[in-house]
Amino acid sequence: MLLNWTVMILYNYFSAMFVGPGYVPLGGTPEKSQDCMYLQYCKVCQSYKAPRSHHCRKCNRCVMKMDHHCPWINNCCGYQNHASFTLFLLLAPLGCIHASFIFVMTMYTQLYNRISFGWSSVKIDMSAAKRDPRPIIPFGLSAFAASLFALGLALGTTIAVGMLFIIQMKVILTNKTSIESWIEEKAKDRIQYYQTGETFIFPYDMGSKWKNFKQVFTWSGIPEGDGLDWPVRDGCHQYSLTIEQLKQKADKRVRSVRYRVVEDYSGVCCPVTKGVKTFFTTPCTEEPRIALSKGDLILATRGLKHWMYGEKILDSAADGGIRERGWFPRKCVEKCQYDSETDQPVDGEKKNR
């Protein structure tokens, strides 16, 4: 049974790794040219992002139905490998629970005949078992330490990976991804902030957990659809989510604040020279840091107490249209003192917007 767990775990693990999530074709455009107005354009892939797809900085491609980039499989979790990845998250804790049971029972049965209870102390004799016949495999102090260490790893994996499985099943049963759950939350915040009276309905939730489940898990192992076009619920259309993304993108531009760099920053993850608080409060994220030079202009979109996230304002003609976005220390910049309603942004800012 333990070997069976191992085979199934490794099969789904390598399937998620090598099958991959599926990528949007390079240079792809929608069949109807008028649909381009509802889609975001990826400058790196030179194509329009299909509904539910997102560009991954690690894979350097637009991924179909991207959920997240997983360092465990060194690949993205998306349209084609979502089922294999989720099965791996299920089977790994089950196999570890079985292994934990074996470790516990092994240590219990071996220690049961080695423990002697005295009036003042409890003694454990690890040299030999006080029973006949002797065990086939000697169980000494080193075997006990190895079993205890393996038990800790198995229990830790069960808890950590089991929690990830629960998170994945929650989004699968609503036919969402982790990114789409975040987009839905931002849609609610945007509507509440501007009091527009809109009602955002997530278009891909079929209204039934079983129907949503079948969108990812099939008997053939191949998910439904082609990863570009998706069935939607009544009252929505294929571009309901992409239109909301464009609205959020426009809102992000409006609410961004321009800063000027006053201190150089090398782009290291934990800068020692920027203060103790900055060093210990570095953002726990895979998002990049950007190097800053004194005099640079930054459009900041969000931030923490000691860190900010934004995009460097560059000359599109000189940098080839490449955007530099990432985290940087708050103490390295100061807010530009200008009236956003009257003053016009610089040329580079216009082009990037």
Catalytic residues: 70
Report the distance separating Cα 310 and Cα 290, nearest Å.
9
End-to-end CA distance of the chain: 58
Contact 40/29 with Cβ under 8 angstroms?
Answer: no
DSSP β-bridge partners for residue 154: none
Q: Exposed, middle or buried by CB within 10 Å (0-12, 13-18, 19+), for 93?
A: buried
Query: Is residue 233 classed as helix, strand or coil in its secondary structure?
Result: coil
Secondary structure (DSSP) of 165-213: HHHHHHHHHTT--HHHHHHHHHHHHHHHHHT-------TT--S-HHHHH
Cis ω on the peptide bond leading into residue 30 (within 30° of 0)? no
